[in-house]
Amino acid sequence: MTPLYNKFPTVKVNGYDHAAWEGKETISRVLGSKLSPACGVVIDVYPGVRVDEILDSLIRPLGITRIFIAEEVFVSGDDITQRIQRHLTEDRVFGILSNHTLNEFIDPLALADLRNSISTLSEPYCVIGVGASLITRGDVLIYADLARWEIQQRYRRQEIGNWKCSNHSEDILRKYKRGFFIEWRMADRHKKLVFKDFDFLLDTNTAHHPRLVTREAFLSGLKQTVTQPFRIVPFFDPGVWGGQWMKEVCDLDSAQPNYAWCFDGVPEENSLLLQYGEVIVQVPSIDLVFDQPRALLGEAVHARFGTEFPIRFDFLDTMDGQNLSLQVHPLTEYIQEQFGMHYTQDESYYILDAKPEGTVYLGVKTGIDPQAMIRDLKIAQTGANRFPDETYINCFPAKKHDHFLIPAGTVHCSGKNTMILEISATPYIFTFKLWDWDRVGLDGLPRPVHIEHGANVIQFDRDTQWVKANLINAVSILRDEPGHVEERTGLHEREYIETRRHTFNRSIDLKTDGSVQMMNLIEGEAVVIESPESAFEPYTVHYAETWIIPQAVKSFSMRPVNGSTVKVIRAYVRH
């Protein structure tokens, strides 16, 4: 059967069919129509945007020769590195979330000189770069945006380094760390300000094929998105432990060695496709959270998390692959004190599929010596001996539709031959690897292990008996009626995410009840999402697809497309 999984879901925006353009010639012509003598075109960009490409394809063809690079008003990269060192740290993976702003790194004399140069001009000019609108608003203000996953791809290809740095060839993990903990935080704070006053948004995700949309159309697209079910664009990535299941189910390139991850519901990383007539504009889906937090998340959720999306769905594929690294996530107080994050990564493994030998490692064995376990982990890290996981760590069989709960502080990992839907809080970088089965990464380097951090947070009282009683298939039936069974499948009381499993063969009615809802069709071909009040068009989702119901939707129904029995997992924030 041909896979139905949609890798490029779009939101068709109503009423703006002619408010977006694609291709460098068309966009350059649109911008040219806005020019007048001494007109200033200001292009503020997210770190990682190809500035030279924009200049060559959109600005210089307009005859604009007075070009100012915004980065010239900022202090040097070395100076920035020195100032952010406390947040950057020497660790290869972990920094401390920073509260820096772009303004902090402006050289006031350089800024004054550039502004003075601009004030004397009597011809069109362009200011372009990160923070360009801090120099001048200009007459036409464009924001050039870029998804974080595309930034990471450019890091990997050594196409770019970090902002104001010449570190193109540096270790990808160190570049990502600087982006995650510092640059993207600054850029997002600045982006929120630019979104209050810009004329166009420029989609720069695809090389040599820009897309431009007016501010009104862009913001209207975001407002429409939070009134209906929607999906964000999944991103698939290989890994040293990756498997083969997603290749078939998600219709991926069979020539690739494996696919380990699918980030199918991670707004901080994924993109949102907004369609205007025939033009599809790709924007970071986090833009939706920034612009429409209350309608998307709900009042109580927004009050607790601000402009962060608190739930993450992703896939971990080890079918015909290998075990994940043995790992643990920090306790709340530890992540607050060590990394500046205000909530931690509680999660669960929902088993979408498994072979008979599929397993999940979860919790420590009853009666072990914690000091001996830490000692043996450290010895294994030196390569002197293999870590005897069978002595210390529980290994449970995993079958389809099992649900393993993983509150922070619990040692865990997926074994090979399991296909996992990971339902998680969103501080996804804060994983302390304890042992990696004597492997190196795809880059040939040893994968980072953080035993010292792990030793500080492992909850050794989560032993065999406790795990069996509290973390495996903690299912209770909440509703059992003809054609519909609703079950509570978790999560643990320490976790703020509630999960419900719905099994049904008819239309069922649900409400958002104050929280954004994230869902996945875990069994069945397709489901149609409908509005009882006809507030949005019927929306069809397929097997293994993740979708989001904004809190503003309030009420919705789900029905199988052909009357067959289907299963949906639903996650939301507990009150």
Report how far residue 420's alpha carbon sits from residue 351's, in angstroms, rounded to the nearest whole number. 5
Q: Return the half-sphere exposure (C-beta side, CA atoms, 13 A cut-off) of residue 283.
A: 28
SS3 544: coil
Report how far residue 142's alpha carbon sits from residue 207's, in angstroms, rounded to the nearest whole number. 18
pLDDT attached to residue 3? 80
The DSSP call for residue 505 is S
Give the DSSP per-residue string, 239-255.
-TT-BSHHHHHTT--TT
Which helix (DSSP H) or strand (DSSP E) does residue 211 occupy?
Answer: strand 211-214
Interval 377-402 mean pLDDT = 95
Q: 288: pLDDT confidence band, cut at 50, 70 and 90? A: very high
Q: Please give the C-alpha separations between residue 7 and each of 123, 149, 241, 253, 354, in angstroms, as whole numbers.
A: 46, 15, 23, 12, 23
**31 has pLDDT over 90:** yes
The pair of structure tokens assigned to 496 is: 């703020």
pLDDT above 70 covers what percent of the chain?
99
Indicate the pTM of the whole model.
0.96
Residue 55 exposed, middle or buried by CB count within 10 Å (0-12, 13-18, 19+): middle
Interval 386-413 mean pLDDT = 97
Interval 11-17 mean pLDDT = 97
User: Residues with Cβ < 8 Å from 130, sequence gap 6 or more?
Assistant: 44, 45, 46, 47, 70, 71, 74, 102, 163, 187
pLDDT in tens, 32-84: 998 888 899 999 999 999 999 999 999 999 999 999 999 999 999 999 999 99
The answer to whether 175 and 182 have CB atoms below 8 angstroms apart is no
Report how far residue 228's alpha carbon sits from residue 552's, in angstroms, rounded to the nearest whole number. 8
Interval 441-455 mean pLDDT = 82
The answer to whether 291 and 195 have CB atoms below 8 angstroms apart is yes
**392 has pLDDT over 80:** yes
Interval 143-150 mean pLDDT = 96
**427 has pLDDT over 90:** no
User: Residues with Cβ < 8 Å from 278, sequence gap 6 or more?
Assistant: none
The DSSP call for residue 134 is G
pLDDT attached to residue 446? 67
pLDDT in tens, 182-220: 999 999 999 999 999 999 999 999 999 999 999 999 999
pLDDT attached to residue 382? 87
pLDDT attached to residue 463? 98
User: Residues with Cβ < 8 Å from 469, sequence gap 6 or more?
Assistant: none
pLDDT attached to residue 2? 72
H runs (alpha helix) in 396-457 = 451-457
Task: Provide the pairing of β-strand 566-573 with 517-523.
Answer: antiparallel
How far is Cα of residue 261 from the mean position of the Cα atoms in its chain? 12
The closest of 41, 50, 17 to 123, measured between CA atoms, is 41
Show the CA angle centred on residue 525, arms to residues 521 and 527, nearest 5°.
Answer: 60
The answer to whether 464 and 392 have CB atoms below 8 angstroms apart is no
User: Residues with Cβ < 8 Å from 539, sequence gap 6 or more?
Assistant: 228, 229, 230, 528, 529, 530, 547
Report how far residue 43's alpha carbon sits from residue 46's, in angstroms, rounded to the nearest whole number. 10
H runs (alpha helix) in 41-160 = 51-54, 77-83, 85-88, 108-119, 148-156
The closest of 66, 67, 61, 63 to 25, measured between CA atoms, is 61
pLDDT in tens, 243-258: 999 999 999 999 999 9
Q: How many residues does the chain have?
A: 575
Q: Is cis: bond before 491, omega within 30 of 0? A: yes
Interval 468-493 mean pLDDT = 94
* Residue 527 φ then ψ, to 5°: -135, 145
pLDDT in tens, 95-131: 999 999 999 999 999 999 999 999 999 999 999 999 9
Report how far residue 410's alpha carbon sits from residue 266's, in angstroms, rounded to the nearest whole number. 23
**428 has pLDDT over 80:** no
The answer to whether 399 and 351 have CB atoms below 8 angstroms apart is yes
The closest of 82, 49, 86 to 187, measured between CA atoms, is 49
Report how far residue 204's alpha carbon sits from residue 51's, in angstroms, rounded to the nearest whole number. 10
The pair of structure tokens assigned to 435 is: 């042992």
SS3 377: helix
The DSSP call for residue 483 is T
How far is Cα of residue 33 from the mean position of the Cα atoms in its chain? 37
Q: Please give the C-alpha separations between residue 96 and each of 86, 147, 162, 340, in angstroms, as whole numbers.
A: 8, 22, 17, 6
**1 has pLDDT over 70:** no
The closest of 222, 233, 283 to 46, measured between CA atoms, is 283
Mean pLDDT of the chain: 95
The closest of 559, 566, 563 to 543, measured between CA atoms, is 566
Q: Which domains does the chain have, with CATH numbers?
A: 24-209 (3.40.50.300), 236-470 (2.60.120.10), 476-573 (2.60.120.10)
**327 has pLDDT over 90:** yes
Report how far residue 111's alpha carbon sits from residue 106's, in angstroms, rounded to the nearest whole number. 7
What do you get for the CA distance between the two ends of the chain, in Å? Answer: 42
